[in-house]
Structure 1
Amino acid sequence: MVGVSLHEVAILLAALAIAGPLARWLGISEVLGYLVVGMLLGPNTIGWSFSDYKAKEILHFAEFGIVLLLFLIGLELRPKRLWAMRYAVFVLGTEQVLLTGAALAAIGLLVGFSWQTALFAGLALALSSTALALQVMEETGDLNTRHGRLGFSVLLFQDLAAIPLIAFAPLFATTAVAAAAATTVQMDIISVLKGLGLIAVIVVVGHFVLDYALRLVALTRVKEAMTAAGLLTVVGVTILMQLAGLSASLGAFIAGALLAESSYRHQLEADIQPFEGLLLGLFFTAIGMTIDVRLLLDEPVIILTLVAGLVAVKAVILYVLGRWQGLEPGPARRLGIALSQGGEFAFVLFTVGYASGALTSENTELLTIIVTLSMAATPILLKIDSLLSRRRKGPAPAYDTPPDNDGHVIIAGFGRFGQIVARILTAKRIPFTALDISAEQVEFVRRFGAQAFYGDASRAEILEAADAHRARAFVLAIDDVEASMRTAELVRSKYPDLPVFARARNRNHAHRLLDIGVTNLQRETFLSSLDIAKQLLKKLGMSEREAGRIIHTFRTHDERRLVEDYKLASDLDKLRERARSDVKTLEKLFEEDAAEEARLRELGQAEEAAR
């Protein structure tokens, strides 16, 4: 950030440290918190910290956060999954951009824009904010839903659509620049073709080179080198894409997708995520700095009406497209609101449009503040939608009050796992108190005669009401890993003498439970997998005794390895080395067992012959 002093860097870091936590404490979006603090620090309000020039410099620097965000998203998308999304990306994305662009262009004509300016502005405004939409959907938990995946597909297409819009901006020129600008279109088309060729080169080279290069860096076992290599990958692809005049975020997404199958994916994600979060916070703060409050105060009715129009048009079109894709009204509405704002690429297009003669300076200033305010409106509208949805559903039922108990077992989580434990305890007439966070699940099992209580076992008052201080044992059967960990940590801190028997989703969950001292644990699919493997071995011709011995050997070895791997959990290289040697270790154990079995059989035959 050229020209930004150390004093100003300290102010920015303080703003980021305060705005996000304060927004979460107030129950609003972190993005909105960053926008507000940016507006307060910017040149258009109190203006005592950052000039307009510095605000733009910070914004330009912080845009790298969007690049890192797209890289991390790419890491999560396997090529097969990306191929499966092709319909939503290209069909749904095309429909959204064209329909929204046409509708907004019609509004532009009504406002008084020429048809060229109206069409260019409409298409630019049809693009949503990738950074804001993904950040807000992640905060609200929408990103992992079907409407969240459709939203991501649309955003991905919009990033692709920005490329030809930037290239063809001179075609929309209406000023004296038009004649000169039109002659550059052919060169721009050639640039686009070169850019597409560059994307193909990145895909081919990245597929064969990136993972190998990271493997060489990992062999050095220098953690900082791995972090630098990850950032260099993103920066290098970004530079190449910018040289070709293409979207840097698209290039980062491609680089991430190329490494989605890499064995270093998780390490890269862990190294880059802190930079991504910090730069995104800085990006939204810089967006807040650019809000021209004076222009808003001069023409508040016109600007707010246009912002409302932009948000309404985009939300309605996305709602209709979502319903057409089979979404229920609620998720379709969430999709529409999440992508209803203008995007960061609109700022780029406005700059290119002004330079090429497609927009005047007055148009550019007006459209810029409309986009910025629409971005600020998104988290507010999603919050309102959540509140209204909860009100329509009615208040959440009050937690049940379990009966007084002494010497009982508490079962946290009453799904399939917890119910099996409960049935055995019932048959042995051992008292228990079952808790589940889902009121629907509690009501469902009660209809079948099972006794459970609605309550969140990760809350101290619920455990107190369940008489945890008088319980004999605590069964942790919660399906959700994070909720399971919160509950385990609470039980271990408040009731250190209460034995905890935990269900672990996988090895990583098991290691996290071991971290806090929970040693009575069982991976949920482990024993059933061993049982089916034993049946398979018997079907393949082995005796009951031989199959049982093999399964016993494997179980003993794997449970010992689980504990040994836990000691090496922070050393990925050693874990990978152990995993590779595990097959040979098992083969050796099986051979030794077979030799021992043969020796015992021969000894038995000899004793039988001696008789």
Structure 2
Amino acid sequence: MEHGAGVPFLREVVVFLVTAGVVVPLFQRLRISPILGFLLAGILIGPFGLGRLVADWPWLGYASISDIEGVSHLAELGVVFLLFMIGLELSLQRLWAMRRMVFGFGALQVVLTGAVITGLAMLDGFNGAAAVAIGSCLALSSTAIVTELLVERRRLASPPGRSAFSVLLFQDLAVVPILFVIGALGATSQDGLALSLLIAIGEAALAIIVILVAGRLVVRPFLRFVGASRNREVFTAAALLIILGTAVGTSFAGLSMALGAFLAGLVFSDTEFRHQIEADIEPFKGLFLGLFFVSVGMSIDPVFVISRPGEILALTLGLFVLKAVILMAIGLAIRLPVPIAVETALLLGQIGEFSLVGLGLARGLGVIDPDNAQLLVIVAGASMAITPVLIPYAERIGKWLEARSIRQNLGDGFDGGELTDHVIIAGFGRVGRLLGDILDHQKAAYVALDANGPIVAAQRKQGRPVYFGDTSRVDVLQRAGIEHAIAVVVTMDDPLAAENIVRAVRHEGHDVAIVARARDRAHAERLFALGANEVIPETVEASLQLGEVMLRGLGLPPDAARTIISERRDIERAALDGFRGTSDTHG
């Protein structure tokens, strides 16, 4: 008997783990999203990549995966865990607060986009059933890719991130009726379609209510019982049981497994076990989500793409633009700010993973012919593949529009020429605001600059001297009165931005004192070399304060602990002063 032959998907899992071990480090080093790497890896190791060569070189079978359907079922767990983690970050109260966006913006997007694409499909010659199936499927966007990229770029909590997530959440809710409609379209009889759809929606709503109520009554006592064992492995197993059990339960109820996992996350979010569960589940989410992206790549046939490149490119770009335009129009109609509406539209222009499920069902039932189904699957995969490349540009466009809007509404035209002996605070985040409070208390004059529009707007409403501007620009510094300023304090936590500000001040020959926040000693040395007068390395200072608390915890008297840390602080300061003296000598 062949070793491992009795273990399902063992070879596929090994191939995937090898791929993940190469793809993620490689693409991180190239500063490219790993999602794009997983998609390309899926094309390579799938049946349309190396799988085509197995007949001539059988040994390539060990490095390729041919069972797309089996892997796709396993890969669905990636979306399940992703939605669970998102639900864990929310709560029922926050979800209720989002109801306007979810059931307003989201519903309008699905209905209008589906209707427009259905109409275009009918104009292209598709019959009514096929056009409805195509419109319903292509109206959906990719929850997995968009949400993961927003989390990766720390944009999920931003206004565009929340707006996009609201639409995605409604799309997940819409998967059930969409799949039901496709199933009904494939049936021989269409009688009672509307009634059957209403019954299905009612059953889905009942299942959601049962899960939420049962979760509140059962989950917390069960986890307390398991937690009493003080066995982390057993606790993790119990958490997985609840997540997967809820996902499977919603699947039996006709809902998507991902929606069930999201509901499980909402239940967990109100318990004291939330943070432990989040730490335990994170590795599972990352691995299975990578497998999901690989499975999407495996569905793309390069030969088919090469045979119809123009049609695929036109459809991919055309559908992306069409969906983005509809989304932007809806966003503006419900009075979203222009930057948020535009960025949200660019985030959700692709075709989603649940579209692949719907297209597969429509193909199996004969609603859509195989060639057109294959074409649309490739277009969906291509649109998902370009999303990691486009999202950074969507963020830049959104920030540019936001900055432009702020300049129009607030005006960046300030004049610090009348001020003397004032402080210029570069960056008005948490550190900058604390410094502003200190200066306000001392009745000292200052001007604060920040490139974050919402921060500027909020602070100006409070009557504080905060202005929109890029402090690395010489003209902005001049208008802030740098010729008469007593000091420039650089507070940003972005090392490159801090260095650009110090460089800009010294490049113009200004002799003003510069006090900068540094990330670590190496960053502090670079700032000194650029001309900063004083630098505070935040990691060093935080470590020293932690060290003092640690020594006191070990039993040392407070005075003794303070003395030891002060001596260490003097050593660190002497090292930096020595570097500053060396850089001044060379300068």
Instruction: Give deviations 1:67-111, integer Å, cap 9, x for gaps.
Output: 111111111112111111011111111110111011111221232
Distance 1:324 1:564, change over 3 A: farther
Distance 1:490 1:440, change over 3 A: same
Of residues 117, 132, 144, the one that matches 1:104 is 117
Match of 1:403 in 2: none
Amino acid paired to 2:188: A
Amino acid paired to 1:278: L
Match of 2:13 in 1: 9
Match of 1:153 in 2: 166
Distance 1:227 1:447, change over 3 A: farther
Q: Does 1:333 align with 2:332?
A: no
C-alpha displacement of 1:330: 3.5
Instruction: Give deviations 1:222-266, integer Å, cap 9, x for gaps.
Output: 111221121111111011112222111111111111121211111
Match of 1:39 in 2: 43
Cα distance in 2, alignment partners of residues 36 and 265 from structure 1: 35
Of residues 214, 226, 243, the one that matches 2:235 is 226
Of residues 286, 293, 296, the one that matches 2:295 is 286
C-alpha displacement of 1:2: 8.8
Amino acid paired to 1:158: Q
What secondary structure is seen at the aligned counterpart in 1 of 2:235?
Answer: helix
Cα distance in 2, alignment partners of residues 199 and 122 from structure 1: 26
Q: Gaps (5+ residues) in structure 1?
A: 395-409, 428-433, 467-473, 479-483, 504-511, 522-559, 566-611
C-alpha displacement of 1:450: 5.3
Amino acid paired to 2:387: T
Mapped contact 2:426–2:492 kept (Cα < 8 A): no
Distance 1:304 1:219, change over 3 A: same
Distance 1:515 1:67, change over 3 A: farther
Of residues 418, 424, 430, the one that matches 2:435 is 418
What secondary structure is seen at the aligned counterpart in 1 of 2:372?
Answer: helix
C-alpha displacement of 1:424: 10
Q: Please say which of residues 290-299 and 43-52 is displaced more in the overlay.
A: 43-52
Cα distance in 2, alignment partners of residues 184 and 119 from structure 1: 14
Match of 1:361 in 2: 370
Match of 1:249 in 2: 258
C-alpha displacement of 1:302: 1.3
Cα distance in 2, alignment partners of residues 411 and 303 from structure 1: 48
How is 1:32-431 mapped onto 2 (pairs within 5 angstroms)? Answer: 32-47=36-51, 48-49=60-61, 53-173=66-186, 178-179=188-189, 190=199, 192-385=201-394, 415-419=432-436
Larger Rg: 1
Amino acid paired to 1:178: T
What secondary structure is seen at the aligned counterpart in 2 of 1:341?
Answer: coil
Q: Does 1:29 align with 2:42?
A: no
Q: Does 1:451 align with 2:478?
A: no
Amino acid paired to 2:185: F
Mapped contact 2:449–2:470 kept (Cα < 8 A): no
Mapped contact 1:102–1:122 kept (Cα < 8 A): yes
C-alpha displacement of 1:440: 3.6
Q: Please say which of residues 11-20 and 448-457 is displaced more in the overlay.
A: 448-457
What secondary structure is seen at the aligned counterpart in 2 of 1:259?
Answer: helix
Distance 1:151 1:389, change over 3 A: closer
C-alpha displacement of 1:371: 0.9
Distance 1:239 1:386, change over 3 A: closer
C-alpha displacement of 1:9: 3.0
Cα distance in 1, alignment partners of residues 332 and 64 from structure 2: 45
Distance 1:234 1:450, change over 3 A: farther
Cα distance in 2, alignment partners of residues 189 and 51 from structure 1: 44
How is 1:440-479 mapped onto 2 (pairs within 5 angstroms)? Answer: 440=469, 446-447=480-481, 449=485, 451-452=487-488, 459=495, 462=499
Amino acid paired to 2:32: I
Q: Please say which of residues 90-99 and 19-28 is displaced more in the overlay.
A: 19-28
Amino acid paired to 2:156: L
C-alpha displacement of 1:515: 8.3
Instruction: Give deviations 1:343-380, integer Å, cap 9, x for gaps.
Output: 11112212222333322222321221111111112122
C-alpha displacement of 1:437: 9.8
C-alpha displacement of 1:519: 3.7
Cα distance in 1, alignment partners of residues 490 and 285 from structure 2: 39
Aligned pair count reads 478
Mapped contact 1:23–1:33 kept (Cα < 8 A): yes
Distance 1:383 1:487, change over 3 A: same
What secondary structure is seen at the aligned counterpart in 2 of 1:314?
Answer: helix
Match of 1:538 in 2: none
Instruction: Give deviations 1:298-328, integer Å, cap 9, x for gaps.
Output: 1111122111121111111111222234444
C-alpha displacement of 1:333: 2.3
Cα distance in 2, alignment partners of residues 458 and 142 from structure 1: 16
Q: Does 1:518 align with 2:550?
A: no
Cα distance in 1, alignment partners of residues 305 and 14 from structure 2: 29
Distance 1:421 1:156, change over 3 A: same
What secondary structure is seen at the aligned counterpart in 2 of 1:141?
Answer: coil
Mapped contact 2:75–2:289 kept (Cα < 8 A): yes
Distance 1:290 1:6, change over 3 A: same
C-alpha displacement of 1:382: 2.3
TM-score, structure 1 normalization: 0.68
What secondary structure is seen at the aligned counterpart in 2 of 1:245?
Answer: coil
What secondary structure is seen at the aligned counterpart in 1 of 2:155?
Answer: coil
C-alpha displacement of 1:168: 2.3
What secondary structure is seen at the aligned counterpart in 2 of 1:168?
Answer: helix
C-alpha displacement of 1:25: 2.9
What secondary structure is seen at the aligned counterpart in 1 of 2:140?
Answer: coil
Mapped contact 1:29–1:139 kept (Cα < 8 A): no
Distance 1:78 1:183, change over 3 A: closer
Match of 1:584 in 2: none
Mapped contact 1:35–1:376 kept (Cα < 8 A): yes
What secondary structure is seen at the aligned counterpart in 1 of 2:50?
Answer: coil
C-alpha displacement of 1:51: 5.9
Distance 1:184 1:208, change over 3 A: same
Q: Please say which of residues 438-447 and 302-311 is displaced more in the overlay.
A: 438-447
Instruction: Give deviations 1:141-177, integer Å, cap 9, x for gaps.
Output: 331211110111111101111111112224433xxx5
Taking only aligned residues, the RMSD between alpha carbons, in angstroms, comes to 4.3
Distance 1:136 1:412, change over 3 A: closer
What secondary structure is seen at the aligned counterpart in 2 of 1:452?
Answer: strand
Amino acid paired to 2:434: F
C-alpha displacement of 1:4: 6.1
Q: Gaps (5+ residues) in structure 2?
A: 52-59, 405-424, 453-467, 504-513, 529-533, 555-587
Cα distance in 2, alignment partners of residues 380 and 411 from structure 1: 31
Amino acid paired to 1:68: F
